[in-house]
Structure 1
C-alpha cells in the first residue's frame, strides 16, 4: 500500500514597509512564498508546481500575488518599494513613495487613511456611544 499526495507550505521571506494598494496605509507587508510538493508516506519529496509569491498587508489583511521577479527585486532592495501595481509604485519625477519619514512636499507622500479618525464633531461635546 502506497500513501501519496501533496503538501503545501508557506515560507515567510521578509517583512516590508510598503504603501498598501487596498487600504492606502503605509504598513508592514509580509512577503511569502507558497511551495507545493509531492509527498510519499507524508514526506515531501519534490516540487510539483512553480512557487507562488504573495504580499499581504498586516493592517487590512489584503493580499495579492506578485511575480517571482518582483519578489526578488523587493528582497534585493531590502524593503524598499519596487515599481509594481499598487505596492509602492514610483511617483512622477522619480520621487519615492512614503517611507514614514520627512514631510509632505519633500519627495514624500503623506500617509493615506481616514483623515477624520480621532476627531470630534465641532461645537458638540464628546459623546459616549454606549450610553443613552
Structure 2
C-alpha cells in the first residue's frame, strides 16, 4: 500500500501598505507565498505549485499575483522599511 497526497504551506513574505483595489482604503497588505508539495508516506518531496497572494487587512480580500508582481511588492516593501534621512 502506497500513501501519497499533497501538503500546502503558507509563508508570509512581507507587510506592505498601499491602496486596496477592492475597498479603496490605504491599508497594510500581507504578501504570502503558498507552496503545495507532493507527499509520499507523509514526507514532502517536491513542490507541485507555488502561488503568491496579497490580503488586505482592512476588508480581507485576497488577490493572486504572478511571481514578477510579488517581486515588485517585495521591493516596494523594502523601500517602505528603509530608514528615511531628513
Task: Give me the TM-score of the superposition, normalised by structure 2.
Answer: 0.84
Moved over 6 A (4+): none
Aligned to 1:46: 46
Following the alignment from structure 2 to structure 1, what is the Cα–Cα distance between the partners of residues 40 and 12?
25
Shift of 1:77: 2.9
Instruction: Name the counterpart of 1:35.
Output: 35
Once the two structures are TM-superposed, the CA of residue 2 in structure 1 deviates from its matched residue by: 1.6
SS of the residue corresponding to residue 36 of structure 2 reads strand
Q: TM-score, normalised by structure 1?
A: 0.56
Greater fraction of residues in strand: 2
Aligned alpha-carbon RMSD (Å): 1.6
Distance 1:29 1:78 in 2: 10
**Structure 2 unaligned blocks of 5 or more:** 81-86
Q: Which structure has the higher relative contact order (CA within 8 Å, separation 6+)? A: 2
Structure number with greater Rg is 1
